[in-house]
């Protein structure tokens, strides 16, 4: 009888462990390589190691995927990715560039850089702005 009780307890524990959800990184700052499910898997952010000091990133929702044409991040830089929603992802390269990636339901993708559109940061979430260097975020130094 004890064996059956132990086996039942073990099976219940295993079932509980296997049904646990993986963490959801939606709205969470990402600052290391890996694959990150966001917004109940409505968006997936991947940061992969490239050659030398380089990192590549890609973002994909249920309609479209996009990636930087060339390695956009450096391992040695304090880069950040913030998935704001399943359709909007903010990427800071660790130097001066903040890029908003917008993924559209029709399959389109738009990359907007603060280097080209300086007022872009007015749309940025506070969680991102707080982590940016003062000169990039436009705060008093």
Per residue in 2-20, pLDDT (tens digit) is 555 444 444 444 444 445 6
What does the pLDDT read at residue 140? 66
Give the start-to-end residue ranges of the domains of the chain: 26-137
What does the pLDDT read at residue 81? 98
Three-state DSSP class for residue 123: helix
- Residue 96 to residue 139: CA distance in whole angstroms: 14
pLDDT band at residue 84, thresholds of 50, 70 and 90? very high
Per residue in 23-74, pLDDT (tens digit) is 999 999 999 999 999 999 999 999 999 999 999 999 999 999 999 888 889 9
């Amino acid at each position: 009888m004890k064996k059956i009780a132990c086996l039942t307890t073990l099976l219940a524990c295993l079932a509980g462990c296997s049904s646990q959800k993986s963490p959801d990184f939606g709205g969470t700052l990402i600052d290391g390589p890996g694959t990150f499910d966001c917004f109940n898997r409505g968006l997936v952010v991947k940061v992969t190691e490239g050659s030398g000091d380089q990192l590549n990133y890609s973002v994909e929702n249920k309609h479209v995927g996009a990636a930087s044409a060339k390695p956009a991040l450096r391992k040695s830089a304090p880069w950040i990715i913030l998935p704001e929603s399943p359709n909007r992802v903010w990427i800071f390269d660790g130097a001066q560039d903040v890029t908003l990636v917008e993924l559209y339901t029709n399959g389109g993708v738009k990359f907007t850089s603060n280097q080209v559109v300086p007022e872009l940061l007015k749309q940025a979430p506070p969680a991102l702005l707080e982590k940016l260097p003062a000169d990039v975020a436009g705060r008093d130094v």
